[in-house]
Structure 1
Amino acid sequence: MIQGLRTVIYPVTKLAEGRAWYEQVLGHAPYFDEAFYVGFAVGGFELGLIPDGQPGSAGATAYWGTQDIDAEVARLIALGAEVDAPVADVGGGIRVATVRDPYGNLFGVIENPHFDRAKVE
């Protein structure tokens, strides 16, 4: 089952510049900083930056938390969604996937064992 919002990912064309800009916006450094992903902790949620993808009004993807991503993706498909990006391990035990709802909207799911509900503000 969907547990709540966890992560919103923004694609940027220049990761270092994007990191610096969001660091100023948020007032602190990222907790995760690699060439393929930069993650900022924000009020118990995550703002992520990726160096690929298409920036713009349709560029951000919200990721909804689940404890069992395989079961959740299967449930979403059974409800009429189509896989956009299959379940992938992105490191640290974190797994993500995206589906398109029956209307074409991108819907992300994330299984993140590091998510701490106690930090949600």
Structure 2
Amino acid sequence: MLGLRTTIYKVGDIEKAKEWYTKAFDTKQYFDEPFYVGFNIGGYELGLLPEENVAKEKTDSVLSYWGVEDINETYEKLIKLGAVEHEKPTNVGGELMVTSVKDPWNNIIGIIYNPHFKIESLTDLKK
């Protein structure tokens, strides 16, 4: 295993979702087709797929957490953009904080503040 590469969110309206995620993650898509929209978020892929049969409820059995510098600021920003609370910002030990919201298409977006996490290069992993 080489580590996480892509998180994909299925959305009922890919054009509106593209606009929403551009604002939420402060970045523009690098790949933009009707069948897939891709964003590069700190070297990781955030993908949007059109959802033909829109699901009212989506599972939260798997959560991906996007790293942030200020969890409360990011949480408030996403709420102001139209996300709804899934889990309040919570201290999970030491300085580690997590929270999650649901985007306008009911996808869960996890957010984490972890000052100890360091991305290792493939060279570091092979040592």
TM-score of the two chains, using structure 2 as the length reference:
0.48
1:96 and 2:98 equivalent? yes
Greater relative CO (CA pairs within 8 A, separation 6+): 1
Partner residue in 2 for 1:107: 109
1:61 and 2:69 equivalent? no
Secondary structure class of the residue paired with 2:72: helix
Secondary structure class of the residue paired with 1:72: helix
The alpha carbon displacement at 1:74 in A equals 0.5
After TM superposition, the runs of 4+ consecutive aligned structure 1 residues lying more than 3 A away are none
Please list every run of 5 or more consecutive structure 2 residues that lacks an aligned counterpart in the other structure.
8-58, 123-127
Please list every run of 5 or more consecutive structure 1 residues that lacks an aligned counterpart in the other structure.
9-56
The alpha carbon displacement at 1:92 in A equals 2.3
Whichever of the two has the greater Rg, that structure is 2
The alpha carbon displacement at 1:58 in A equals 4.5
Which amino acid in structure 1 is aligned with residue 113 of structure 2?
E
Q: Tell me, in whole angstroms, the C-alpha distance in 1 between the residues paired with 2:88 and 2:60.
A: 20
Question: Over the residues paired in the alignment, what is the CA RMSD in angstroms?
Answer: 2.0
Which amino acid in structure 1 is aligned with residue 73 of structure 2?
A
Name whichever structure is richer in strand by fraction.
Answer: 1
TM-score of the two chains, using structure 1 as the length reference:
0.50
Of the candidates 80, 83, 86, which is equivalent to residue 82 of structure 2?
A: 80
Taking a change above 3 Å as real, the CA distance of residues 83 and 114 of structure 1, as seen in their structure-2 partners, is same
